[in-house]
Amino acid sequence: MGWWSEDIMGGDFPLDIVDFIEDVFDIDDENFIYPMVDMNDYVKDRSKDLINANTVQEIFRKVLVRAGDWIGDDGEDKNIFLQVYALIAMAVGADISDEDKELFIASAVEEDDIEDWSNPDARRKVLDNFKETVRAYDGTPVVVGSKGLFEAMGEALDKADPAG
């Protein structure tokens, strides 16, 4: 299906990454990380504990093992993983070192194909907002909103036929 919005979580690939992270964190189908605003206390506590107990690289390696060749170990795939992981870490109030903050900020580089996005300026704004959110993060849980598929579809339909 691809991407339906310019948001960090606005596509299939980020949601696949969440599924792999849930697998690594041993979070069953009765619980879920995304949408992050709806995480229950069990998922928040478990995610926070595992994020605090492992390095970003350790979690990434575990995700790669589960994902097989579904996720590349560098480039844009790794950048999207780091962005998604940062959103989860901030949503649960995990500890994020200055070194990891720099890693997350560096992941929000302008993609080579940014001009192929339906709204390149909106994508740039999302990436800039992501970087500012990471810089300002102080350990207090913060959930970064993301447009869901149905919300994006509704907006597209409204644009196509404003009369409804």
End-to-end CA distance of the chain: 25
- Domain locations in the chain? 12-160
Strand partners, 11: 3
| pLDDT tens readout for residues 91-106 | 999 999 999 999 999 9
**Dihedral, 82, 52, 25, 103 alpha carbons, nearest 10:** 10
Low-confidence ranges of the chain (pLDDT < 70): 1, 147-150, 152-153, 162-164
- pLDDT at residue 1, rounded to an integer: 57
Q: pLDDT at position 3, please?
A: 86
